[in-house]
Structure 1
């Protein structure tokens, strides 16, 4: 169900990331703070909307500055008729959060730990999004492995929410929007 006041409309310039990360072509926008403030949370959140009238559903990422950024892939760029450097028109709204895709390594660990799996199934979708975000935000493989192990331990002990994780990146400065190409 759509939350009241979760709809925003804005214009933003499409930016090219400095590092494409091996992907062929994509763009991004940082949401204006006023648009981000209409959303129910500062962490990862799925939104639906339009880009120049073309519909999309995407996962917004926190920018570490109490706002969000939106990745625009090549097919969405093409469908919307927008190009990097253009100012595009956006409408976004947050509705029910879809069930997140569970990474294989986490899914395997949960299957091997029945108590953790039971608590995982008893959490909310948003809590599962936060657990996954905490795990996949690890910068090193050994940290990711440790977080999966810790997640299973915490879940098995009855914790439904990941402890001490700033999903917005504001306090920890763990998350940011990509750097724009100059």
Structure 2
């Protein structure tokens, strides 16, 4: 059984993304030392406090061995902070990963393939999240459609994990990573 991670405390700069222009959300990149205390270099759901406001979110790999966190407008405004501010966080991995939101097109494809749906129901929330991330990380609608078909075929054959998926973002060509900060 994995040993629970202690609360990780740090400060980070809040940035606005360069794309999409005018985004209402902001983000921060965890300091490497804080990220190193997490149990994985891949996506990990945490709960904690953002400027003393409770939150739960999934950290994403930044592609450089650390993680980044998207801060929605509501949390940022509740905390009374703005892009450019240094913010205080306290985080810890959740005890049980939450179920990911299944996109409608994938849900429809799984519903029409009983064997794929059975494997999907039997895998962990983390494995389901990885399949969803692999499918949705395609930049073109055509790619997404092909990935859904491939996922259903592989799941129907009992494959439980998305093959050749770089969960850390360190070895893929830009499919994962922190957004570029606006100037």
When normalised by structure 1's length, the TM-score is 0.94
| Count of matched residue positions in the alignment of Structure 1 and Structure 2 | 181
* C-alpha displacement of 1:49: 1.1
List per-residue Cα deviations over 1:32-65 (Å, max 9, x = no partner): 1121122222222221111110011112121111
* C-alpha displacement of 1:88: 0.7
2: CA distance between counterparts of 1:21 and 1:86?
Answer: 19
Alignment partner, residue 141 of structure 1: 141
Closer, same or farther: CA 58–3 of 1 in aligned 2, 3 Å: farther
| Kept in 2: contact 1:20–1:26 (CA 8 A) | no
* C-alpha displacement of 1:3: 5.1
User: Which runs of 5 or more structure 1 residues have no equivalent in the other structure?
Assistant: none
* C-alpha displacement of 1:18: 1.1
Alignment partner, residue 13 of structure 1: 13
CA RMSD of aligned residues (A): 1.7
Alignment partner, residue 181 of structure 2: 180
Q: Please list, as runs of the form range in 1=range in 2, the aligned pairs for 1:5-154 lying within 5 A after superposition.
A: 5=5, 7-20=7-20, 23=23, 25-95=24-94, 96-154=96-154
Alignment partner, residue 156 of structure 1: 156
List per-residue Cα deviations over 1:82-124 (Å, max 9, x = no partner): 1111111001111111000100000000000000000001101
When normalised by structure 2's length, the TM-score is 0.93
